[in-house]
Amino acid sequence: MLLQCAADFHGRRERYEKFVRVFEERQPDLVIIAGDWGNVDDKILGKIDVPIYGVYGNMDGSLSHLNDLVDFIDGRIVEYENLVFLGIGSKYPESIGKKIDIVVTHIPPYKTKDKAFLGMHIGSKWLRQLMEEKEPRYIICGHVHEDAGYEMYGKCYVVNCSIGKKGIATLIDTESNEIEMIGY
């Protein structure tokens, strides 16, 4: 399955327009937005004709105007095409009983793609523990604009798809495990 991901649009229309152009060219199976949406014109997202999973970021107010276009998975476990997703944004799950393939979160796990501009690690220790215990295949996050990219932790790819400084989109092929960061 081909996923197209990004985080940290912060309401910038040109970022959304570039993201949608990549969608139109590459035709992914699922779109994931890992928080900090900002002010979004629903007409732009309306051009995306596959499911959109999203979580809230630390800068997001109400995004209820997008509920017809986006499945906000904050605090929920959902399945799509035999993959199990966990959303962590404005809500955390009460319990996680099943195997998770992909965690969608705004904040990265502690000490993994979370290095801020002064070199401090600002990720979530709770998420780090979850990553170590549940061993998901992917953690898709954003928040730390300075540390966009991906790295392996054990068998888990931690993908910081922030476009807050640069970048347009990140494509993840879950079958081949290929990750392509576009515009970084």
Distance separating alpha carbons of residues 118 and 174, to the nearest angstrom? 33
Cα–Cα dist 1/174, whole Å: 5
Structure tokens at 1: 């399955």
> What's the confidence (pLDDT) of residue 164?
94
According to the model, what pLDDT value does residue 82 have?
96
**Which residue from 3, 29, 24 is spatially nearest to 159, judged by alpha carbons?**
3
CATH of the domain at 28: 3.60.21.10
Return d(Cα 45, Cα 75) in angstroms, integer: 23
**pLDDT (0 to 100) of residue 117:** 85
In this predicted structure, what is the pLDDT of residue 118? 87
pLDDT at 97: 85
CA–CA distance, 3 with 51 (Å, rounded to integer): 10
Low-confidence stretches of the chain (pLDDT beneath 70):
none
For residue 132, what pLDDT is reported? 96
Distance in angstroms (rounded) separating the CA atoms of residues 27 and 36: 23
pLDDT at 2: 98
| SS3 of residue 89 by DSSP | coil
State which H helix or E strand residue 132 sits in. helix 125-134
How many domains does the chain contain in total? Answer: 1
What is the pLDDT at residue 70? 98
pTM exceeding 0.85: yes
Which pLDDT belongs to residue 177? 97
pLDDT for position 64:
94
Residues spanned by the domain of 19? 2-182
